[in-house]
Structure 1
Amino acid sequence: MENNEDNYLMISGIQHYEFCKRQWALIHIEQQWFENVKTVEGSNLHNKADNPHIREKRNDKIIVRSMAVKSTSLEITGVCDVVEFIQNSNGVWLDKEEDYYQVCPVEYKRGRPKQDHADILQMAAQAVCLEEMFLTTIEKGYIFYGEKKERLEVLLSDDIRNELRKTVQDMHQMYKKRLTPKVKTGKHCKSCSLQSICLPDMLNKSSVKSYIERKIAE
């Protein structure tokens, strides 16, 4: 089967998919987007992390920001906020540095650790991409939370990898069908950046068709 990169899904979409499958479909299938305070704050937090011109070397560590990555096995692509290369004889050979380094992804988030695995799966997806690109194995990564100003270490267990694989497979199936799920309201709707587009309250009470017909009648 041909591996067409035009069909690759965005790694960032994993966060949307875990938050709300309808939100993910509106953004990644219907190409709709609307910024709110939280998305703006998130963008500000990424300003330094997403500067591709910043490359630092601190003692035995090289820090690369905004690195483009992809995985042919999962058919996903995206950008890592930060990738740290830590000098280690058990790591991979980097020609430019003429030494061996372990590869470690670091994802930046504006808030605090979540109850679900959204952030973990997104970081794990980046790790899989890096593993394929550098032909190595990554045992752990980190998530930096802006609200608490701390890093959370995440071990990339078989359970996490299997959950990631299943999630991405489900995303691909939904994308191929161009399916936007119906509204399922909840507390998360209040913080959704697409609330005004999704219109959950209106869609719960009547169909889009009947809403449009009423507007035309008016």
Structure 2
Amino acid sequence: MDVIPLSALQHFLYCPRQCALIHLEQLWAESRETAEGRILHERADLPGAGTRKGVRVATAMALSHEAFGLIGKADVVEFHSQADGGECPFPVEYKRGRPKAHQADEVQLCAQALCLEDMYGKPVPRGALFYGQTRRRKDVVFDRGLRELTLKVLQGTRAMLESRQTPSAIYEAKKCDSCSLVDLCMPQCISRQRSVQRWLMNAVE
């Protein structure tokens, strides 16, 4: 079974075509937004371990889940002390901007929790998303609904990647205009071509 990067789940839920362009066709383009995100990640991208306010912290921690075929890394994993003397992993993912209406960020974080549960053999009930624009954390509870959505997205991502087929472009201004791959994807052009093809097919029927 081929492994799937954790980031692919976030890309797939946001836009399956974006996911395919990045993970199948190996395309990438930098934008102001992606540059800001890269800068935000620079500190967390340095592997290391330490203690912060009495909490053990690991940065750029490698993650994997053998059964699910997932691999990647967590920006930050805090290890919170428990009453029984053990520690509970608490993943923290850094994102630019602010919280979004869709759940792509939450799914990526939940997938990290699934990996941590597999690696440490204990439940990981919560984590957090840190947004650069608000400079605040958003707590995320890994409830049944989010876990089911994450597994559904994983199945969809795997099916698409195994098909080796890049989905057709569907132009959505709110998503497409803010995507760094918009010039490579050309959603408006491709969508117009498909509309013309449908019109011609209907005209000759």
Global fold match (TM > 0.5)? yes
Residue 68 (structure 1) aligned with residue 58 (structure 2): no
Aligned Cα root-mean-square deviation (Å): 1.5
1:22 maps to a residue whose letter is R
The 5-angstrom pairing of residues 110-121 of structure 1 reads: 110-121=96-107
2: distance between equivalents of 1:200 and 1:155? 35
Residue 85 (structure 1) aligned with residue 90 (structure 2): no
TM-score (norm 1): 0.85
SS in 2 for 1:50: coil
2:191 maps to a residue whose letter is N
Report runs of 4+ in structure 1 exceeding 3 Å deviation.
none
2: distance between equivalents of 1:192 and 1:59? 37
Which residue in 2 is equivalent to 1:51? 46
The 5-angstrom pairing of residues 167-186 of structure 1 reads: 167-186=153-172
Residue 125 (structure 1) aligned with residue 120 (structure 2): no
Which residue in 1 is equivalent to 2:193? 206
Which residue in 2 is equivalent to 1:196? 183
SS in 1 for 2:137: strand
Superimposed CA distance per residue, residues 57-77 of structure 1 (whole angstroms, 9 cap, x where no aligned partner): 135310110001011232111
Note the C-alpha offset of 1:89. 3.5
Note the C-alpha offset of 1:199. 1.1
Note the C-alpha offset of 1:56. 1.8
Residue 28 (structure 1) aligned with residue 14 (structure 2): no
Superimposed CA distance per residue, residues 85-136 of structure 1 (whole angstroms, 9 cap, x where no aligned partner): 122234xxxxxxxx62111100110111110111100000000000000111
2:178 maps to a residue whose letter is S
2: distance between equivalents of 1:164 and 1:206? 34
SS in 2 for 1:55: strand
2:122 maps to a residue whose letter is T
Which residue in 2 is equivalent to 1:216? none
Which ranges in structure 2 are unaligned for 5 or more consecutive residues? 195-205
Which ranges in structure 1 are unaligned for 5 or more consecutive residues? 91-98, 208-218
Q: Which residue of 7, 12, 15 corresponds with 1:17?
A: 12
2: distance between equivalents of 1:116 and 1:30? 25
User: What is the percent sequence identity of the aligned residues?
Assistant: 37
